[in-house]
Amino acid sequence: MASAPPSPSSGYRGRLAPSPTGYLHVGHARTFWTVFQRARETGGTLIMRMEDLDPDRCRPAYADAVLEDLRWLGIRWQEGPDKGGPFAPYLQSKRRAIYLEAWRKLLRTGRLFPCRCSRKDLETALGAPHERVQTAGGGGKFDTLDDEPLYPGTCRRFMGGTPQLPGPTASVYEDPGGTNWRFRVPDGEAIEFVDRNLGPQRFVAGVDFGDFVVWRRDGVPSYQLACVADDAAMGITEVVRGADLLKSTARQILLYRALGLPAPAWYHCRLVVDHNGRRLAKRHDALSLRALRQRGLTPMNILSADLPVEV
Ligand code: GLU
């Protein structure tokens, strides 16, 4: 159900938004190639934004490797950490002030509540591991962005569903402090959008996803918040990314709405899976671009390879 590519006069702005948590693999190569193609077809601008917010998982060496691997594939961008540009800095780790501003706006408009639940509390509330969402790797660990478990509502109930916010000048608005902050989703509301590649999509708030974290207790803004704040600030007109992030798109649509920002168009790429039908992850070292390149494969082989199959 693919639609026509955007028109050349659209002022198209796309982005590559890798997380430097490991080496890129075939799945990334194909998604990023699509991002590049969509921008190139329109004579649009492509931005490289390094999503290096999580200090526990991101490494500068991986960020360098991502840039090198994408250049090797033949992908080029016009703005980025290596090029500069009107929306610098292009490293999320240097854009905290922008995320804080978004967090403050959400808090002031009563969309957030502080959450004191630990990961263990959530696991207990959600029941036995077999009832939980499994990751593509089957490990039962919530290690992808879309895997955030349905929040059981503990701290939302405690707030009585209506945050008791202090006056607008109170210091609570200045800093998120050492607590998690969640976005209160409109339970039962269907979030619908037409994906430019996969067609109509529909997710129900409170069923397909719950109150999600926008700011972590360790001081790190969440992917959902940072991504929306940056895509809006950088004037992105179309977000192209993997279909594993469809549910995140639904969450992000709620953030755009709450922040009063126009949402971009969406184009989600089908995922690449391995021979066992598992989604590729950075742990599939044998399918990393580095390993394949060392084995003598060319960018053309990788982009047209029938090594892993698509679903
Ligand atoms: N940084 C995210 C990831 O690597 C992708 C973000 C996006 O494209 O929205 O999974």
**Percent over 70 (pLDDT), the chain:** 82
Beta strands in the chain (DSSP E): 13-16, 45-48, 112-115, 180-183, 190-195, 199-204, 212-215, 238-242, 265-269, 272-273, 309-310
Taking only the tens place, the pLDDT of each residue in 162-179 is 455 555 566 667 889 889
Which of 16, 92, 147, 227 has the most ligand 1 atoms within 8 A of CB, as the residue to mutate? 227
Question: Which of 35, 241, 271, 279 should be mutated for ligand 1, with most atoms under 8 A from CB?
Answer: 241
For residue 68, is pLDDT > 70?
Answer: yes
- Give the Cα separation of 185 and 78 in Å (integer): 36
CA 136 to chain centre: 16
Q: Give the mean pLDDT of 19-42.
A: 96
Task: Please tell me the distance between residue 262's alpha carbon and the centre of ligand 1 in angstroms.
Answer: 20
Atom of ligand 1 nearest to the CA of 244: 10
Instruction: Write the pLDDT tens digit of every residue in 244-296.
Output: 999 999 999 999 999 999 999 999 999 887 777 777 666 667 689 999 999 99
Look up the pTM and report it.
0.88
Examine the pLDDT at 131 and tell me if it is beyond 60: no
Atom number in ligand 1 closest to CA 21: 4
Alpha-carbon span 36 to 75, nearest angstrom:
6
Q: Does residue 124 carry a pLDDT above 90?
A: no
The reported pLDDT for the residue numbered 305 is 58
What mean pLDDT is predicted for residues 93-111?
96
Ligand 1 centroid–CA 193 distance in Å is 19
Q: Whose CA is nearest to atom 6 of ligand 1?
A: 17
Q: Give the pLDDT confidence score for residue 284 in this predicted structure.
A: 65
Distance of CA 174 to the CA centre of its chain: 25
Report the pLDDT value the prediction gives residue 146, as an integer from 0 to 100: 75
Residue whose pair of structure tokens reads 């701290």 in the numeric block: 155
Residue-wise pLDDT for 181-240, tens only, equals 999 999 999 999 999 999 999 999 999 999 999 999 999 999 999 999 999 999 999 999
pLDDT score at 172:
67
For the chain, the average pLDDT equals 87
Q: Measured in angstroms, how far is the CA atom of residue 21 from the centroid of ligand 1?
A: 11
Which protein residues are within 6 Å of ligand 1, measured from CB? 17-19, 51, 145, 227, 241, 245
Tracing tokens 């790797």 back to the chain, one arrives at: 137
pLDDT-wise least confident of 12-16, 67-71, 162-166, 184-188:
162-166
Which pLDDT band, with edges at 50, 70 and 90, does 148 fall under? confident
Residue 69 CA, chain-centre distance (Å), reads: 20
Q: Measured between alpha carbons, how far is 193 from 186 in angstroms, rounded to an integer?
A: 16
Pick the atom of ligand 1 nearest to 240's CA: 8
> Does residue 28 have a pLDDT over 60?
yes
Ligand 1 mutation pick, 51, 224, 252, max ligand atoms within 8 A of CB: 51
Is the pLDDT at 2 greater than 80? The verdict is no
Q: Which residue has the higher pLDDT, 197 or 118?
A: 197
For residues 205 and 26, give the distance between their C-alpha atoms in angstroms, rounded to a whole number: 32
pLDDT exceeds 50 at position 161: no
What local confidence, expressed as pLDDT, does residue 241 receive? 97
Closest ligand 1 atom to residue 15 Cα is 8
306: confidence class by pLDDT, cuts 50, 70, 90: low
Rounded average pLDDT over 15-20: 98
- Nearest atom in ligand 1 to 231's CA: 9
Strand partners, 239: 266
pLDDT at site 220: 97
User: Which pLDDT value is given to residue 119?
Assistant: 83
